[in-house]
């Protein structure tokens, strides 16, 4: 006999989109349950979704460890600091990462407690009339129902049919966060966000890294000038990125400690093959909807397998909403945060809303890459008249003092109104700097507004100030 429980709001999934929805709904006085099936590395339930367990947070921990190691070996000498025989203990590095993950997944549990969100640990399926059946980890079943259900089931890695994940030699992001030693040779399929970030981690620790990208253009979603600069910097670092590479096979050879992968691919030089110790497949993610929707739920999927929603994240089924990676739009944790909050507010009768035009993108490589708004190509394609102003980090005192002169900031503004339409950055700390662009665009600001805002000297943010001045060819620190 299953226990029956009634809530105002049930959230399926405690990742970025789900936990934001649950907490905001609880703040607004709703009785909320949030269900998640995931287990942590210790086999215990872990809230926080891909982002906290095996995505944003652990990858940033490893990016930071590997950056320190790389700088110790390659940059500190310029400061006059030498350390002989630098070593990295991979176990300690992974242990630090696991501790951070535990701190943050545990943090969500504490936030749920503080906000009186009732967690359920198990796999949930939505049935008709907002009935949710949860198969709990102890084998028991519980049936919940609510006036509103928010689906926030997230996404799974896409597997290639010829390169099945085995968790050891052929891995996705989860496996690549847990190598027990630095692989001598690592191949990555997909030069997207995960491929570049995790490829950078293991490259900095000493692996030979080859990235095989099917598309002929590098980082096609980014501004072309940003992508070119980033590609040049990655090449200098020794990341071997092969564009237009069509992988046809990945065959495991050897046994136990000797296991390797032989990868066959074709590019402009013809048929090729490389043999590596580990293969990371990072060719995108797809909505995680398997088992989520009973036949009578009424919720529809679109042609890409995502849950169909309108602009308010409503599925069309009375009281059923969907947010985050399992619906259309970029698969970014912060996009999920905003959708989760917006839906909780809509349920409470408030005007919840997400502005898709000002969602920032960040790739945490070295240098970092970030953007918000339209690229030059998008403006050209749409026939929008624009002016561009850019400024290099190499002419910024703070960046040079930090030994981080690579990259630039480019601001695109409407040719007639001067309204900022896009900001594109590659360089030091641009993951933080991009928010000047987000704020300006959110407030419909102009390049002149940015140019007239006093920026502290010396600071990296002055690059934005100079780029804004360059829009009208009045940058002080470069020839216009």
* Interface residue list for ligand NAD (CB under 6 A): 160, 189-195, 197, 212-215, 247, 282-285, 331-332, 362-364
Alpha-carbon dihedral sign for residues 133, 134, 139, 141: negative
Give the residues across from 287 on adjacent strands. Answer: 155
Smallest distance from ligand NAD to CB 119, Å:
25
**β-strand pairing of 131-136 with 141-151:** antiparallel
Smallest distance from ligand NAD to CB 192, Å:
2
Of 353, 414, 457, 465, the active-site residue reads: 457
Nearer to ligand NAD, 333 or 469 (CB): 333
Give the residues across from 424 on adjacent strands. Answer: 371, 410
Nearer to ligand NAD, 141 or 251 (CB): 251
Distance CA 370, CA 364 (A): 9
Give the residues across from 278 on adjacent strands. Answer: 186
Nearer to ligand NAD, 51 or 320 (CB): 51
Nearer to ligand NAD, 338 or 418 (CB): 338
Smallest distance from ligand NAD to CB 345, Å:
24
Nearer to ligand NAD, 115 or 272 (CB): 272
The single residue listed with the structure tokens 């027990």 is 180
Contact predicate 172/279, CB 8 Å: no
Integer CA distances (angstroms), 460 to 1, 233, 238, 448, in order: 62, 19, 26, 19
Catalytic (active site) residue 457 = yes
Distance CA 227, CA 233 (A): 10
Smallest distance from ligand NAD to CB 173, Å:
7
SS3 141: strand
If one counts every other C-beta atom within 10 angstroms of the C-beta of residue 382, the result is: 10
Smallest distance from ligand NAD to CB 111, Å:
22
If one counts every other C-beta atom within 10 angstroms of the C-beta of residue 350, the result is: 13
**β-strand pairing of 285-287 with 320-322:** unpaired
**What tokens appear for 20 in the block?**
């934001």
Smallest distance from ligand NAD to CB 214, Å:
3
Nearer to ligand NAD, 20 or 465 (CB): 20
Distance CA 424, CA 412 (A): 8
SS3 389: strand
Tell me which residues are annotated as active site.
457
């Amino acid at each position: 006999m299953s226990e029956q429980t009634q809530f105002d709001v049930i959230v399926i999934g405690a990742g970025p989109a789900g936990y934001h929805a649950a907490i905001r709904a609880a703040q607004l006085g709703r009785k909320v349950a949030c269900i998640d099936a995931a287990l942590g590395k210790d086999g215990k339930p872990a809230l926080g979704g891909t982002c906290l367990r095996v995505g944003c947070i652990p990858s940033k921990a490893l990016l930071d460890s590997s950056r320190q190691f790389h700088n110790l070996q390659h940059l500190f000498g310029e400061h006059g600091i030498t350390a002989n025989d630098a070593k990295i203990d991979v176990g300690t590095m992974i242990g630090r990462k696991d501790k951070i993950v535990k701190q943050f997944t545990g943090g969500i549990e504490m936030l749920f407690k503080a906000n009186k969100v009732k967690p359920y640990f198990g796999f949930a399926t939505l049935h008709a009339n907002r009935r949710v059946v949860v198969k709990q980890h102890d084998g028991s079943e519980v049936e919940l129902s609510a006036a509103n259900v928010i689906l926030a089931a997230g996404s799974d890695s896409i597997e290639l049919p010829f390169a099945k994940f085995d968790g050891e030699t052929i891995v996705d992001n989860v496996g690549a966060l847990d190598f027990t030693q630095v692989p001598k040779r690592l191949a990555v399929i997909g030069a997207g966000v995960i491929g570049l970030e995790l490829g950078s981690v293991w490259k900095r620790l000493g692996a030979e890294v080859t990235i095989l990208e099917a598309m002929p253009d590098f980082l096609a979603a980014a501004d072309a000038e940003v992508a070119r600069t980033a590609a040049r910097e990655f090449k200098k670092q020794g990341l071997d990125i092969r564009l237009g590479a069509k992988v046809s096979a990945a065959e495991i050879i050897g046994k136990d400690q000797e296991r390797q992968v032989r990868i066959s691919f074709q590019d402009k030089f013809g048929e090729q093959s490389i043999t590596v110790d580990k293969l990371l497949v990072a060719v995108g993610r797809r909505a995680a909807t398997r088992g989520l929707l009973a036949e009578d739920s009424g919720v529809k999927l679109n042609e890409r397998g995502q849950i169909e929603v309108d602009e308010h994240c409503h599925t069309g089924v009375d009281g059923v909403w969907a947010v985050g990676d399992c619906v259309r739009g970029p698969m970014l944790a912060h996009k999920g945060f905003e959708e989760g909050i917006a839906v909780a507010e809509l349920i409470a009768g408030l005007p919840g809303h997400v502005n898709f035009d000002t969602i920032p993108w960040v790739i945490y490589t070295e240098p970092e890459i970030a953007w918000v708004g339209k690229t030059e190509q998008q403006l050209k394609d749409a026939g929008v008249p624009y002016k561009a102003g850019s400024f290099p980090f190499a002419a910024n005192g703070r960046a040079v003092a930090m030994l981080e002169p690579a990259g630039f900031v480019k601001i695109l503004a409407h040719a007639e109104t001067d309204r900022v339409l896009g900001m594109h950055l590659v360089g030091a700390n641009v993951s933080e700097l991009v928010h000047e662009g987000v704020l300006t665009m959110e407030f419909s600001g102009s390049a002149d507004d940015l140019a007239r805002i006093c920026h502290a000297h010396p600071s990296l943010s002055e690059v934005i100030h100079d780029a804004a001045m360059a829009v009208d060819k009045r940058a002080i620190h470069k020839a216009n």
